[in-house]
Structure 1
Amino acid sequence: MEATENAALATSGTDDLLQQWTAAQAGFHRLTIRLAEEVTRRTDLPASSVQILLLLLHSPPYHSVTMTELARHLEFSTAGITKVTDRLTHAGLIVRSPCQIDRRVVRATLTPEGLQAARQAADILADALNREVIAKIGQEDFARLTDLLTALDPSR
């Protein structure tokens, strides 16, 4: 009888663990979608374009990174990053140019219009984060949450 009770307790613990994980994953996913939808609605830019603009905005000092870095950081395929950067280039928000050190490497850089669009998207996202996250859990818990998620990131 004791073995059956231990197995039931172990299964119960596993079930609880998986339910917690599923709830956390689903909640974060829905929040991410809601935040992206707000930025997209208010900027008229697709979420993928916003991701690139925000990454470039936070790439000092020249708001520029290689196409390979963009694809790797955002987990886009080469074709996917090319498609999105084509749209951003045609919109005048970025320029693509060969690296001065290695002409085989192509860099994406914000234009002045792109810098303005990236700052607008960042402000909208910050407002949404304050309203949807900070107002609900507080700045201290948000900082703790980001520290925990960063610790779990296998790329770090």
Structure 2
Amino acid sequence: MTTRWLSPDEQRAWRAYIAAAFLLEDTIDRQLQQEAGMPHVYYSILATLSEVPERRLRMTELAEGLKITRPRLTYAVARLEKDGLVRRESCQWDKRGSVAVLTDEGMTVLERAAPGHVETVRAALFDRLTPEQVGQLEEIFTSVTEGLLGDGGGSEEVPWRRRSSPSCS
């Protein structure tokens, strides 16, 4: 098999993406640690739960939505549970499964953290782009995501994509 090396344009684009992705994640994580005392992944868990009906979601669906492994999610939810921000309940439909539920205290913490988080995201990313570039950014990353998660490419091998039992409600 012949290696398809990146062209100079592709290499520059790849390196620009890597630099921006690392810097953005670091900026967001530092802001959330300083202002809310939590890493970005914890904030993402709270935010995701705040957006679903009854602020509850099966752990496997939460892992898939956040694109993190189940063990990493279990650890993070355990920490959030210890702080009273999330609680876990048994799944009514599958006794092996569990559901993460955003508590009222967790919602309060999220509401306090959200303005600083949004301002950081806006300043670090969106204030630097034109409206046309925002549309292009969405189009580019939607295409990449669909390609990585679409049919083929071993997407079922990704830990958060493995088949699970029916959702709990």
TM-score (norm 2): 0.74
* Corresponding residue number in structure 2 for 1:23: 16
1:36 to 21, 29, 41: 29
Give SS of 1:119's match: helix
1:75 to 46, 64, 67: 67
Q: Is the 8 A contact 2:28 2:40 kept in 1?
A: no
* Corresponding residue number in structure 2 for 1:46: 39
| Ranges in structure 1 where 5+ consecutive residues have no aligned partner | 1-10
Give per-residue Cα distances to partners, 1:20-73, cap 9 Å, x unaligned. 211122212211221221122110112221121122122x21121111122233
Give SS of 1:88's match: helix
- Which of the pair is proportionally richer in helix? 1
Query: Offset at 1:90?
Result: 0.9
Bigger RCO (CA 8 Å, 6+ sep): 2
- Give, in whole Å, the separation in 1 of the partners of 2:130 and 2:111: 24
Query: Offset at 1:134?
Result: 2.3
| Ranges in structure 2 where 5+ consecutive residues have no aligned partner | 151-169
* Corresponding residue number in structure 2 for 1:155: 149
Task: Report percent identity of matched pairs.
Answer: 25
* Corresponding residue number in structure 2 for 1:55: 48
Further displaced range: 48-57 or 104-113? 48-57
* Corresponding residue number in structure 1 for 2:165: none
Amino acid of the residue matched to residue 149 of structure 2?
S
- Give, in whole Å, the separation in 1 of the partners of 2:69 and 2:122: 32
> Of the two, which has the highest radius of gyration?
1
Give per-residue Cα distances to partners, 1:78-136, cap 9 Å, x unaligned. 32222111111110000100122333220001000111122333322211122222222
CA RMSD of aligned residues (A): 2.3
Residues 1:84 and 2:92 are matched in the alignment:
no
TM-score (norm 1): 0.80
Residues 1:117 and 2:109 are matched in the alignment:
yes
Give SS of 2:125's match: helix
